[in-house]
Structure 1
Amino acid sequence: MTVGKRLYQYALSSKKTIIFALILLSVSVAAELTGPFIAKTIIDNHIMGIEEPWIETVEQEQAVLYNETWYIRESRLSDGSDRGNAIQIVQIGLSFYVTNQLIPFDGEKSFENGELTITNADDTFVSEAIALSASEVMDFYRPEIMPVVYWLLFYLGLIIFASFFQYGQRFYLQKAANRIIQKLRTDVFNHLSRLPVRFFDNLPAGKVVARVTNDTEAVRELYVAVLANFFSSVIYMIGIYTALFLLDARLAAGALVLIPILWVWIVLYRKFASKYNHEIRSKNSEINASLNESIQGMEIIQAFRKEKGREKTFGTLNEQHFTAQNKMLRLNSLTSHNLTAVLRNMIMVGLIWFLGGAQTGVGAVLTLGILYAFVDYINRLFEPINRIVNQLANLEQARVAGERVFELMDKEGEDVAEEVMKRPKGEITFDDVSFSYKEDEYVLKHLSFTAKPGQTIALVGHTGSGKSSIMNLLFRFYDCQKGAIRLDGQDIKDIPRQTLREHMGIVLQEPYLFTGTIETNITLNRNDITREEVEHALELVGGKQVFSRLDNILDEEVKEKGSTLSSGERQLISFARALVVNPAILVLDEATSNIDTETETIIQKAMDTLKEGRTTFIIAHRLSTIKNADQILVLDKGKIVEQGTHDELMKLEQNYAKMYQLQQQVKEESKVG
């Protein structure tokens, strides 16, 4: 499905609101476009109307007294009335003249020595005429004043009426846009939680954030600004062309040439703008990624005095983004008001050429009112064209941003399983397991071992030996390429990831805390965990003793990443978080390596209690903490090279024994020092 169709599908989620807004828009446009028609009526019927024949009559409403005789406009003479002598008023410049003869045609008018002369290409008309004084002219205009006032009041009422509908359509269109973007952001965020961990290995967090925030905000502009302007402009243009055809079909047909020109314009613009916008959005994501990385690593940057280097890196990305923006700026500058101004001038030249007599005389074609209305509508026609042109940049930005958002949403994810399983016994079997992060670069090779329920399994080895990879497989952050991992005899690939993790707890070397309180960080906002259970879990890991300095232990505020807490306090919260769900399998990934000796002693005392009734895996850096483990697996380059208890491995005097003795020696030397 194309990006446009998918954006359309999202728009359908608020189709009732959008349709209602478009109805309001149509009403407001119709009311607004009556202006030129009202102006035409005022000009032709009331301002220029006094030049139609005036018929001698008796004193009556709308009649005018001139030279002791009452006259009324021919169009206002009631049917069946007696027709008396007729006079006609002619305007030449700012002066008005009256003649007793009816003027048969239009043409060039002049007055000299009491004679009115009207000349055109075919004939010349000459008649005696008398100049009217200003007061006499006002007498002839007096019957027109109130109708003009009524028309103006009517138009004012229409404008006020239209303003309410204009407000309504803007409000409801933007309301629909906000609702659509709310749904889109929710879908994107929810999809992120469905993506496998492998997906985030090669995509920096800043780029993901840019797609969820910046790109969806650009899509929002599509519905708020672009959609509203395009809809209103199209309806506005339809209304204007309808009015033009009602005024004069031939001139309106000539103005239709704007439609194919505008279409070609849009197609060519999108061809170039799409390329530039892809580049802009890409550079924007890179800037976000660089910024996120700098903020996360600010301590290291400042500690190693790398501020200048990071500034240079960021400056390079910023310059590339600036260059891409300038390309877009040049395109917009060339194709915005410049082209609309050229088109406007072309239409006006065509209109002047037509009215100048290229086909027929002016008088045979248009009245002054029609001419005014036509020029007014032509000027108004370029307002929606300008709005469409000015929104082309936002349209392309939204389309490209939408493409990037949907590209993220198209990544294969996995639905959160609702399936529930009984608490497993906790027997874990690795059966000839091989695993690689990259194709054919195996980090685990033919691993086989079994952890019995309630046992503690310790994993030791040098960096890169595969310890953490075992944990990644156990939690199904990744799946092995060869062999099988079984829980109580069942292949874990046959168990939904969420169902499996429901019975597992993990404590990482670097615990991650969220903004909130100590309690919400332990429960992770699960409603099925009571406050008493939280307190009990914290007590089991010795947390009450450590947090006794705090006024409100569970309700103590936690800043982002727990920046106001010590590393030991953060780790205790992480321990309590893992234990409060009473997992059948507990994983400690070097969980005590960053804890001070006093806190480690507290945790070690609680470990015996924690291990009861669950299978525990410990990735150990300090070998002294795993002396009581039921099994110790010594890993080297993805293989198990030694396996047994602490005493058994010490008797072998191989890798484990050497590592243990080395750590003990270092410990003794540090004491002496």
Structure 2
Amino acid sequence: MMHGGMMRQIAEKEEEKAKNTTLVAWRLIRLLKPYWKVVTVSFVMILIGAATQGVGPYLIGLAIDQFIAGKDLPNLLWTSAALAGTFVVGMVATRYQIYTMSLATQKLLADLRRSVFEKVQALDLKYVESKQAGDLMSRLVNDIEAINSFISQSLTQMLGALFALVGIMIAMFLLDWRMALASLSVVPVMFLMTKFFSTLARTAFRKTRTTIGDVSAEMEEQISGVKVAQAFNRTEVNVRQFSERNAANRNANVSANAVTSAFGPAMELLSTIDTALVAALGGYLAIMGLMTVGTVVAFIQYVQNFFRPIATVSQMWTLAQSAFAAAERVFELLDTPQTIKDAPDAQALPRIDGRVQFEGVSFGYEANRLILKDISLDAAPGQTIALVGPTGAGKTTAIGLLTRFYEVSSGAIRVDGHDLRDVTQLSLRSQMGMVTQDPFLFSGTIMDNIRYGRLAATDEEVIAAAQAANAHSFIERLPNGYQTEVGERGGMLSQGQRQLIAIARAVLADPRILILDEATASIDTRTEKLIQSALNTLLKGRTSFVIAHRLSTVRNADQVLVIDDGQIVERGVHADLLAQNGLYAELYNRQFYTPPETQSSAA
């Protein structure tokens, strides 16, 4: 149950927002404001369609009372033609209202998807790391699709039905107020029933949205980790865990469908009762000579037409609960505050030499739990700074602060004397490059992935960067060379090949500050030599921060900082730290110490 806690948090968050249905609805409507012209046309078509709902039964009653009873065939034919024309106009208006609203909706959804994607790109790394990728994808795809279904289809039907109700009620009261009141006598019961089903549907559809997020998160994680799952014989366990989440989503959808499917028969029962009431009262009044037969027939038509839009409104409203629950999740994401953002007076960082200073820096994800404590360092331009220490000591967190993925809790970080909080993030990161242990390659060609470091680079510059990174030779051996598709996350290439491409990408970017985060870990010795040679080229003339568990990669560093429990416990160069016989020497000896018996056998 790896994601159960997270899914519960999402459900609880939506439970808090359950009272904001009106605000969510208004916010969705406001999103249509840029397309008000198209929406206005759709609204006019809705009014025309609603008017035809009130005119039809009136023409039928007129035909019965005056032209059939009076045997007036010419006027009967004209009335029949008018009735047919009314239905055609209503059909065309309904067709065009759906088309125009769909047009506006698709434009709105394109804007909404872009806004969500831009938000995800700009979110603090702390927030992104706390969420499952599948859940974010669910908001971007499933939730927006639910909004699409509601606005493009359900909303127009609801508005059309509402205006049709108004038109029908006006026509009924103009025709006979007594019959109108009798026809509307079941409305209070109908509203109570609608409220009851809406409440049930709201809860049911909110659960479907959270469970599909759970399914998406589980699916994304397990597909990404299928190699590990197979290696550890976890496939059956994973299938069982996925089946549990899938079953939860299935049950949630079954419950939601049970609510919506029960509503239709309930409305049909009310409609039948109301029709019988109108027929009985109308028949009595007609027998007593107080009402014409045509008026009775018209009212029966009105009652049937009256319940049709009521059923539509109510059914669409229950379906709208799915859209509101989805919209809550999307708006929650869009409203997520950015804790790391440029100051109002932030300046662009000029071309830097590369001096980096940490001045008493402390940091914690939570205020009362510090990960880094009083870190101070001074890296001169062009120096290589190695950060070593046990796993979880805070090395990668320190680098995250330098790139301003996180904000320092206290102290300051300066680049060429500029406090990072006083410069724009774009100008800072544009002068930094990073090569990680598991480099991320995007779907596309090798050429595209190297050019990601500098999009304006020419093909010749890309090839030159690959040559500097020792990647050119293996690329040339591939069937399509630089146009070889790397697959999702670079899956068509080996770990070492992906690493070399990442280094080529960094070479092309030509950063002033370079970060190597475990860049030679998980690599075989032969490939490591190639990568190390490429890194030596990359390190020249740049201020570099190297994180490595393989201490052989940090022997030539200008400064070695040993971090333990969030503090710098040793600093110096490789030889001096070995002589101190402290933590660095202990870590080094663990890797390179050879027991005497092994040495003897080797001899």
Q: Shared fold (TM-score greater than 0.5)?
A: yes
Judge conservation of contact 1:571–1:595 (CA < 8 Å) in 2. Answer: no
Which has the higher mean CA deviation after the structures are superposed, 323-332 or 491-500? 323-332
CA deviations on 1:220-268 (whole Å, 9 max, x unpaired) are 1220222111111012112222322332232123333455444433333
Partner of 1:482: 410
Partner of 2:276: 349
Q: Give the one of 421, 424, 431 matched to 1:503.
A: 431
Which amino acid letter does the alignment assign opposite residue 287 of structure 2? V
CA distance in 2, matches of 1:329, 1:191: 33
CA deviations on 1:616-648 (whole Å, 9 max, x unpaired) are 111122222222211111222222222112222
Q: Give the one of 16, 30, 33 matched to 2:37.
A: 16
Secondary structure of the 1:588 match is: strand
Partner of 2:5: none
Q: Give the one of 135, 138, 148 matched to 1:220.
A: 148
Judge conservation of contact 2:183–2:278 (CA < 8 Å) in 1. Answer: no
Q: Give the one of 380, 403, 417 matched to 2:305.
A: 380
CA deviations on 1:182-225 (whole Å, 9 max, x unpaired) are 22221111111121011123211111111111111111122022
Which has the higher mean CA deviation after the structures are superposed, 501-510 or 21-30? 21-30
- Aligned Cα RMSD in Å? 2.6
Partner of 2:320: 395
CA distance in 1, matches of 2:246, 2:202: 20
Alignment of 1:402-481 (within 5 A): 402-413=327-338, 420-481=348-409
Secondary structure of the 1:605 match is: helix
CA drift at 1:479: 1.8
CA deviations on 1:274-304 (whole Å, 9 max, x unpaired) are 2333222222211221111211111122222
Partner of 1:340: 267
CA deviations on 1:417-470 (whole Å, 9 max, x unpaired) are 996321211111112222223443322222221111000111112212221111
Q: 1:602 to 1:242 in 2, by over 3 A?
A: same
Q: Give the one of 64, 86, 90 matched to 1:43.
A: 64
Judge conservation of contact 2:560–2:571 (CA < 8 Å) in 1. Answer: yes
Q: Give the one of 402, 405, 420 matched to 1:492.
A: 420
Which amino acid letter does the alignment assign opposite residue 338 of structure 1? P
CA drift at 1:561: 0.5
Q: 1:48 to 1:444 in 2, by over 3 A?
A: same
CA deviations on 1:357-379 (whole Å, 9 max, x unpaired) are 4xx55353222222222211211
Q: In the alignment, is residue 635 of structure 1 matched against residue 574 of structure 2?
A: no
Secondary structure of the 2:213 match is: helix
Which amino acid letter does the alignment assign opposite residue 514 of structure 2? L
Secondary structure of the 1:256 match is: helix
CA drift at 1:397: 0.9
Which has the higher mean CA deviation after the structures are superposed, 411-420 or 573-582? 411-420
Q: Greater CA radius of gyration, 1 or 2?
A: 1
CA distance in 2, matches of 1:422, 1:593: 34
Secondary structure of the 2:570 match is: strand
Judge conservation of contact 1:447–1:639 (CA < 8 Å) in 2. Answer: yes
Judge conservation of contact 1:416–1:498 (CA < 8 Å) in 2. Answer: no
Q: Give the one of 166, 179, 183 matched to 1:251.
A: 179
CA distance in 1, matches of 2:253, 2:82: 48
Q: 1:407 to 1:667 in 2, by over 3 A?
A: farther
Q: Percent identity?
A: 33
Partner of 2:572: 644
Judge conservation of contact 1:222–1:395 (CA < 8 Å) in 2. Answer: yes
CA distance in 2, matches of 1:233, 1:525: 55
CA drift at 1:396: 0.8
CA drift at 1:672: 5.0
Which has the higher mean CA deviation after the structures are superposed, 221-230 or 304-313? 304-313
Which amino acid letter does the alignment assign opposite residue 192 of structure 1? V
CA drift at 1:30: 2.8
CA distance in 1, matches of 2:330, 2:83: 47
CA drift at 1:29: 3.7
CA distance in 2, matches of 1:286, 1:361: 62
Which has the higher mean CA deviation after the structures are superposed, 450-459 or 429-438? 429-438
Alignment of 1:47-126 (within 5 A): 47-50=68-71
CA distance in 2, matches of 1:431, 1:450: 8
CA deviations on 1:640-668 (whole Å, 9 max, x unpaired) are 22211222223333333343344334699
Which amino acid letter does the alignment assign opposite residue 354 of structure 1? L
CA drift at 1:533: 2.6
Partner of 1:169: 97
Judge conservation of contact 1:194–1:416 (CA < 8 Å) in 2. Answer: no
CA distance in 2, matches of 1:462, 1:537: 34
CA distance in 2, matches of 1:412, 1:633: 35
Partner of 2:487: 559
Which amino acid letter does the alignment assign opposite residue 353 of structure 2? K
Which ranges in structure 1 are unaligned for 5 or more consecutive residues? 51-143
CA deviations on 1:523-570 (whole Å, 9 max, x unpaired) are 338643333332222221111122121244332212101111111111
CA distance in 1, matches of 2:68, 2:318: 45
Judge conservation of contact 1:194–1:415 (CA < 8 Å) in 2. Answer: no
CA distance in 1, matches of 2:286, 2:90: 38
Q: 1:44 to 1:352 in 2, by over 3 A?
A: closer
CA distance in 1, matches of 2:292, 2:539: 98
More strand by share: 1
Alignment of 1:311-330 (within 5 A): 311-330=239-258
Judge conservation of contact 1:586–1:615 (CA < 8 Å) in 2. Answer: yes
Which amino acid letter does the alignment assign opposite residue 421 of structure 2? K
CA distance in 1, matches of 2:426, 2:322: 37
CA distance in 1, matches of 2:553, 2:258: 66
Q: 1:478 to 1:537 in 2, by over 3 A?
A: same
Partner of 2:4: none
Partner of 2:25: 4
Q: 1:535 to 1:294 in 2, by over 3 A?
A: same
CA distance in 2, matches of 1:208, 1:150: 60
Which has the higher mean CA deviation after the structures are superposed, 573-582 or 340-349? 340-349
Partner of 2:544: 616
Question: What TM-score do you get using the length of structure 2 for normalisation?
Answer: 0.89
Partner of 1:189: 117
Question: What TM-score do you get using the length of structure 1 for normalisation?
Answer: 0.80
Which amino acid letter does the alignment assign opposite residue 375 of structure 1? I
CA deviations on 1:341-394 (whole Å, 9 max, x unpaired) are 23213322332342354xx55353222222222211211111111111221221
Q: In the alignment, is residue 205 of structure 1 matched against residue 133 of structure 2?
A: yes
Partner of 2:6: none
Which amino acid letter does the alignment assign opposite residue 319 of structure 1? A
Which amino acid letter does the alignment assign opposite residue 374 of structure 1? F
Which amino acid letter does the alignment assign opposite residue 408 of structure 2? C
CA distance in 1, matches of 2:89, 2:371: 73
Partner of 2:13: none
CA deviations on 1:82-138 (whole Å, 9 max, x unpaired) are xxxxxxxxxxxxxxxxxxxxxxxxxxxxxxxxxxxxxxxxxxxxxxxxxxxxxxxxx
Q: Give the one of 452, 456, 459 matched to 1:528.
A: 456
CA distance in 1, matches of 2:484, 2:241: 39
Judge conservation of contact 1:225–1:391 (CA < 8 Å) in 2. Answer: no
Which has the higher mean CA deviation after the structures are superposed, 433-442 or 290-299? 433-442
Secondary structure of the 2:221 match is: helix
Alignment of 1:236-315 (within 5 A): 236-315=164-243
Which amino acid letter does the alignment assign opposite residue 367 of structure 1? T
Q: 1:415 to 1:622 in 2, by over 3 A?
A: closer
Secondary structure of the 2:473 match is: helix
Partner of 1:232: 160
Judge conservation of contact 1:434–1:442 (CA < 8 Å) in 2. Answer: yes
CA deviations on 1:554-608 (whole Å, 9 max, x unpaired) are 3221210111111111111111222222111000011112333333322322333
CA drift at 1:404: 1.3
CA distance in 2, matches of 1:243, 1:484: 74
